[in-house]
Structure 1
Amino acid sequence: MGNLARKLQQEQQHEQKKQMVQAPKKATERNPWLSPGEKLIGLVFSGMVCFGAVHIVSNQAAIYEMNKDIQDTKVAIQEQNKANSDLEMQVSELSTYERIWDKARALGLTLNENNVKVVQD
């Protein structure tokens, strides 16, 4: 009887293997992690983020350039103010009464007190 039980057991295993092989396999549906609409929204969002980043960087570059121009202009203004003050000092030195009188005498001019008029403000 032991032999018969063993034979029966082998037949059952053999039938189970056949059923496994013959059983139609179901096509496993892959549940996508993101739907196509979500992928499109993600792509649009990432594009907008990249565009915004580029826009911010370009604005900062323009601001930096403008600040540089402002600083250059301030330096030029300071240099011009210094030159103006030096020229004003020269004018005040050259327009003293004694210097003008010396130049007039060197050119042969004399002071005639009858032709002198006093102007009042």
Structure 2
Amino acid sequence: MSNLARELEQQQKEQQMQDIQKQKRAVKKSWLTPGEKFLSLAFAGLVCLGAVQMISNQAKIYKVNEDIQKVQSSINDQQKVNGDLKVQVSKLSNYNRIADKAKKMGLELNENNVKVVQSK
């Protein structure tokens, strides 16, 4: 009978151990509460949204800078053309050239009808 008592005692110990293990498993909690999980998820979402917004703004700034450089390039080209045209105007408005063209067309220079105009 002592063998039977030992078996019974051993079975009771095993059941107690199993109950304790079940209790330990049931007591085991997460280190973050659901509210903390939600807040951390919301914070991570905001960080990601902010990063996407920053990258988007940088892309827009890059595009605007590219457009500005293109406009500046076209302005420089137009300034060169304008400079060349000013040189042509100064060459074509030379007094000797105008006088030669006038003589070829049959015009004569009358000193009494000449008025001097000064440009500013």
Taking only aligned residues, the RMSD between alpha carbons, in angstroms, comes to: 2.3
Q: 1:37 to 1:118 in 2, by over 3 A?
A: closer
Q: How many residues align?
A: 114
Question: 1:101, 1:77 → 2: CA distance?
Answer: 36
The alpha carbon displacement at 1:22 in A equals: 4.2
The alpha carbon displacement at 1:55 in A equals: 0.7
Structure 1 portions without partners, runs of 5+: 1-6
The alpha carbon displacement at 1:118 in A equals: 5.0
Percent identity at matched positions? Answer: 49
Q: Aligned letter for 2:11?
A: K
- Compute the TM-score of the two structures, normalised by the length of structure 1: 0.82
Alignment of 1:1-121 (within 5 A): 8=2, 10-23=3-16, 25=19, 26-27=22-23, 28-118=26-116
- Compute the TM-score of the two structures, normalised by the length of structure 2: 0.82
Which protein has the bigger helix share?
2
The alpha carbon displacement at 1:76 in A equals: 0.7
More deviation in 78-87 or 12-21? Answer: 12-21
Q: Aligned letter for 1:15?
A: L
State the structure with more CA Rg.
Answer: 1
Q: 1:94 to 1:32 in 2, by over 3 A?
A: same
The alpha carbon displacement at 1:116 in A equals: 3.1
Question: 1:114, 1:46 → 2: CA distance?
Answer: 91
